Chains A and B, each alone.
Chain A
Amino acid sequence: GENVEQHPSTLSVQEGDSAVIKCTYSDSASNYFPWYKQELGKRPQLIIDIRSNVGEKKDQRIAVTLNKTAKHFSLHITETQPEDSAVYFCAASTYKYIFGTGTRLKVLA
């Protein structure tokens, strides 16, 4: 069946450094790739997304890149801040969304 692999499972960076999280998907029909941030005890919330006809998208300190040939996409966070500390999930979607297992990001002050 469909599968999304996400790496790393935990990531610690110093404040101001960059963080990169990578995902690989199996269903070549996937056409929508969102990234969600989940803080402790709260619901996941969208931070950025990309469609299959776009290779890169940026929103201030956050960017996502997509390589459809290799079936992988990545989240890049620059100039990290303590409030970026959370669990991040990637997902790949056709008519159903399959999520990765999450990355716990810790930004050390």
Chain B
Amino acid sequence: NAGVTQTPKFQVLKTGQSMTLQCAQDMNHEYMSWYRQDPGMGLRLIHYSVGAGITDQGEVPNGYNVSRSTTEDFPLRLLSAAPSQTSVYFCASSYSTGGVYNEQFFGPGTRLTVL
């Protein structure tokens, strides 16, 4: 199993550009999520999904869109990049047991710089 994969590993954008961060998992997990990590701020939840076709907002959703058309893929779209979106982005997946979610498995991260 490859686990959770993310592409690209590094990206530099100019203000106003759009792009999609890719995330895929091969563990058949129903739960997937996106976080951004900034110094001193921990991991902040952007969006999450509890299954194909179902997404919801997290703590910091503004400026980001997601969709979940398959169990495996959960792309994150930046519609018009801003310098405030410079961060490290992690995708994660998990599964539930008896209605309780378990450990999240994280991807390797994408380091995004917006100039």
Kindly list chain A residues whose C-beta atoms are within 8 Å of the C-beta of B42: 6, 89, 99-102
In chain A, residues 54-109, which have Cβ atoms closer than 8 Å to a Cβ of chain B? 89, 91, 93, 95-102
Beta-carbon contacts of B33-44 to A below 8 Å, as 1s and 0s?
101000011111
Please report which residues of chain B, range 17-43, place their CB below 8 angstroms from some CB of chain A when the two chains form the complex. Answer: 31, 33, 35, 40-43
Q: Per DSSP, are chain B's interface residues mostly helix, strand or loop, or mixed?
A: strand
Residue tally, chain B, CB below 8 Å to A: 24
Total contacts A-B at CB 8 Å: 52
Give every chain A residue within 8 A of B33 (Cβ-Cβ).
96-97
In the bound assembly, the distance between CA atoms of A102 and B43 in angstroms comes to 9
Give the total of A residues in contact with B, Cβ under 8 Å. 23
Please state if A44 and B106 are interface contacts (CB–CB under 8 Å). yes
Chain B residues near A100 (CB, 8 Å)? 42
Q: Does A46 contact B (CB under 8 A)?
A: yes
Chain A interface main SS type: strand
Known contacts A100-B42, A101-B40; A95/B108 CB under 8 A: no
Closest Cβ neighbor of B44 among chain A residues:
A99
Q: How many angstroms from the CA of A31 to the CA of B96 in the assembled complex?
A: 12
Docked complex Cα distance between A34 and B101 (Å)? 11
**Chain B residues close to A by CB (< 8 Å):** 31, 33, 35, 40-45, 48, 50, 56, 58-59, 90, 100-104, 106-109
Question: Would you give 21 A-B contacts (Cβ < 8 Å), ordered by A?
Answer: A6-B42, A9-B40, A32-B102, A34-B103, A43-B90, A44-B90, A45-B106, A49-B102, A49-B103, A89-B43, A91-B43, A93-B101, A95-B50, A96-B58, A97-B45, A98-B45, A98-B59, A99-B35, A99-B45, A101-B41, A102-B40
